[in-house]
Chain A
Amino acid sequence: MGKILMKGNEAIGEAAIRAGCLNYFAYPITPQSEVAEYLSRRMPEVGGVFLQAESEIAVANMLFGAAGCGARVFTTSSSPGISLMSEAISYISSAQCPVVFVNIVRGGPGLGGILPSQADYFQATKGGGHGDYRLLVMAPASVQEAVEMVMMAFPLAEKYRNPVMILGDGLIGQMMEPVEFPEHLRSEPSNKDDWATNGMDTRKSNKPNLVKSLFLNAELLEEHNILLKAKYDRMKQEEVRYESYNTDTDYQALIVSFGTMSRVCRTVIDNLKAQGFETAMIRPQTLFPFPQEPIKQAALKESCKVVFSIELNMGQMVEDVERSVQGKRPVHWYGKAGGDVPTPEEVIDVIKSFF
Chain B
Amino acid sequence: MQREVMFAGFGGQGILLIGNILAHTAMEEGYEVAWVPSYGPEMRGGTAYCLVVISDRPIGSPIIRNPMHLVAMNHPSLEKFAPMVKPNGVVVINSSLIHIGSDRDDVDELLVPANDIANDLGSIKVANIVALGAFVARSKIADFELVRQCVKKKFSSKKKLIPINMAALEEGKKVAQLK
Contacts and interface: CB of A to CB of B under 8 A. Distances in A.
Interface of A: 3, 5, 30-31, 113-115, 170-171, 174-178, 260, 263-264, 266-268, 270, 339, 341, 343-345
Contacts, number: 66
Given A5-B33, A5-B35, A176-B20, A171 B62 contact: yes
A171 B38 CA distance: 10
B23 A31 contact: no
A174 B60 contact: no
B177 interface: no
Nearest to B50: A176
Given A5-B27, A174-B37, 6 more contacts: A3-B27, A176-B37, A260-B62, A264-B60, A264-B61, A266-B58
Nearest to B21: A5
B27 A264 contact: no
Given A115-B40, A178-B27, A344 B61 contact: yes
Contacts of B59: 263
Given A176-B34, A267-B61, A343-B63, A113 B40 contact: yes
Interface in B1-39: 20, 23-24, 27, 32-37, 39
A174 B37 CA distance: 7
Given A175-B34, A176-B23, A176-B34, A114 B63 contact: no
Interface of B: 20, 23-24, 27, 32-37, 39-41, 58-63, 65
A349 B32 CA distance: 28
Given A171-B62, A341-B63, A177 B39 contact: no
A341 B61 contact: yes
B23 A5 contact: yes
A5 B59 CA distance: 15
Contacts of B41: 113
B60 A266 contact: yes
Contact of B61 (A30, A31, A114, A263): A263
11 contacts: A5-B23, A5-B27, A5-B33, A31-B40, A113-B41, A174-B36, A176-B35, A267-B61, A270-B60, A341-B61, A344-B60
Contacts of A5: 20, 23-24, 27, 33, 35
Q: Label chain B's interface by main secondary structure.
A: mixed
- Those 5 A-B pairs whose CB atoms lie nearest each other, nearest first: A267-B60, A176-B35, A264-B61, A266-B60, A267-B61
A177 B37 CA distance: 12
A30 B44 CA distance: 15
A114 B60 contact: no
Contacts of A343: 61, 63, 65
A82 B65 CA distance: 31
Contacts of B61: 263-264, 266-267, 341, 343-344
A171 B40 contact: no
Contacts of B40: 31, 113-115, 170, 339
A79 to B, nearest CB: 14
Nearest to A4: B27
A178 B30 CA distance: 10
Nearest to B60: A267
Contacts of A177: 33-35
Contacts of A267: 60-61
Contacts of A344: 60-61
Contacts of A270: 60
A253 B23 CA distance: 35
Contacts of B34: 175-177
Of residues B20, B35, B59, B61, which shows the largest number of chain A Cβ atoms within 10 Å of its Cβ?
Answer: B61
